[in-house]
Amino acid sequence: MKTTIYDVAKEAGVSIATVSNVINNNGRVGEKTRQKVLKTMAQLEYSPSVVASALTGKKTNTVGLLIPDISNPFFADIARSIEDRGNELGISVIICSTDNLEEKEKKYISLLIRKSVDGFILASGVKSLDLLEEVMEKKIPVALIANDIPSLPITTVTIDDFKGGYIGTKHLLSLNHTKIAMIAEHAWSNIQRINGYKQALLEQNVEPREEYFIKTEATIERGKEAGLQLLNLEEPPSAIFACNDLLAIGAIEAARELGFDLPNDLSVIGFDNTVLCRLTVPKLTSVSQPIHDMGKKVFDMLLDSDFTNQKTLFMPELVVRESSGKYKDTV
């Protein structure tokens, strides 16, 4: 049988309350007794049951992480940063890939509620706001990372997406591009990025063109489709700003297929600065999110009620690689 607190108590000749106290460092234990208990705990290889402890109202030291897909490198990076912080704190992270499906979202959340997780970190766009409010009513902490629901008071860690869109576009503008297209996806963060893009254009008196703007899903395939569509335009753009790296990679594929030579005939920049950026040819210029810091921060905010419903904004940074270059009117 598994050793319990009773075994330790008996062996050490003390009560279970005392053992409990030494486990939790709850004062009122004489130094001698403490040592004796510690020793027998070691002897018996006793390890306290989190399950039993949780039943008495203590934490489960487990949080749920909802992301669209763990096999997407961007989210895998987020997961890793959160997991690392969890490991430091002795808290386990349960992964939940929702594929942005409301059904999966619900299933995962209700299961994790039954498991009494200490909180939820959401990196996916939340489909079911009702569910989310239900969770918050139950006083289960919730925090968002790399996405926001502006309509809700909720703990959030994001980058300044407006600025992200702005600096990316500025970069292209500074390379003399004016025919700058944007491929975005449906997400709140993207709306801000789009606004930043438009702001940058307007500041240079460049009128955003309707046909240079595509909204689609965040996959390489869709990015390629969008790229194809853009580059087959009568007057194709000389630069494409993709709202995430996957879309950018798709756009690059499209460009290669159509015989464009990057960055001479076309500049492409991405967003997120994932590991993928260094794999593309040419290497992808991208707007970077400080994922590691963000993961740590969101975890800490989740657990510290001082931060409840606060919003933390990190600053994006442009990482210039080889996929963006000076505009040359070669046509």
Partner DNA sequence: ATGAAAGCGCTAACAT
Partner DNA sequence: ATGTTAGCGCTTTCAT
- Partner that binds at residue 23, options DNA, a copy of itself, none, CB closer than 5 to 8 Å by kind: DNA
Find the shortest distance in angstroms from Cβ 121 to DNA: 25
- By DSSP bridging, strand 62-67 and strand 119-122 are parallel
Angle between helices 245-257 and 73-89 (to 10 degrees): 160
- Partner that binds at residue 69, options a copy of itself, DNA, none, CB closer than 5 to 8 Å by kind: a copy of itself
* Residue 69 Ramachandran class (φ > 0 left, ψ -120 to 50 alpha, else beta): beta
- Of the candidate spans 17-25, 174-182, 229-237, 282-290, the one that interacts with DNA by CB under 7 A turns out to be 17-25
Q: Residue 58 interacts with DNA (CB under 7 A)?
A: yes
* Spatial CB neighbours of 156, under 8 Å, sequence gap ≥ 6: 143, 144, 145, 148, 149, 310, 311, 312
CA distance 176 to 209: 17
Two tokens, residue 292: 């590691």
Q: Residue 27 interacts with DNA (CB under 7 A)?
A: yes
- By DSSP bridging, strand 239-242 and strand 119-122 are unpaired
Of residues 100, 168, 157, the one with CA closest to residue 291? 157
* Spatial CB neighbours of 176, under 8 Å, sequence gap ≥ 6: 326, 327
CA distance 317 to 319: 6
- Partner that binds at residue 228, options DNA, a copy of itself, none, CB closer than 5 to 8 Å by kind: none
CA distance 270 to 247: 7
Rounded-to-10 torsion of CA 142, 146, 149, 150: 120
Q: Residue 199 interacts with DNA (CB under 7 A)?
A: no
Q: Residue 56 interacts with DNA (CB under 7 A)?
A: yes
**Would you say 240 and 172 are in contact if contact means Cβ atoms under 8 Å apart?**
no
Find the shortest distance in angstroms from Cβ 17 to a copy of itself: 19
Find the shortest distance in angstroms from Cβ 310 to a copy of itself: 27
Q: Residue 52 interacts with DNA (CB under 7 A)?
A: yes
- Partner that binds at residue 154, options a copy of itself, DNA, none, CB closer than 5 to 8 Å by kind: none
Q: Which is nearer to DNA, 6 or 150 (CB)?
A: 6
> Residues interacting with a copy of itself, by CB under 8 A?
2, 47-52, 54-55, 60-62, 64, 69-71, 73, 76-77, 79-80, 83-84, 87, 90, 92-97, 104, 107-108, 110-116, 138, 220, 249, 256, 275-276, 278-281
Q: Which is nearer to a copy of itself, 17 or 275 (CB)?
A: 275
User: DSSP H helical segments within 281-330, as ranges?
Assistant: 291-303
Q: Which is nearer to a copy of itself, 96 or 157 (CB)?
A: 96
Find the shortest distance in angstroms from Cβ 111 to a copy of itself: 6
Q: Residue 48 interacts with DNA (CB under 7 A)?
A: yes
Find the shortest distance in angstroms from Cβ 139 to DNA: 13
**Would you say 117 and 94 are in contact if contact means Cβ atoms under 8 Å apart?**
yes
Q: Which is nearer to DNA, 50 or 95 (CB)?
A: 50
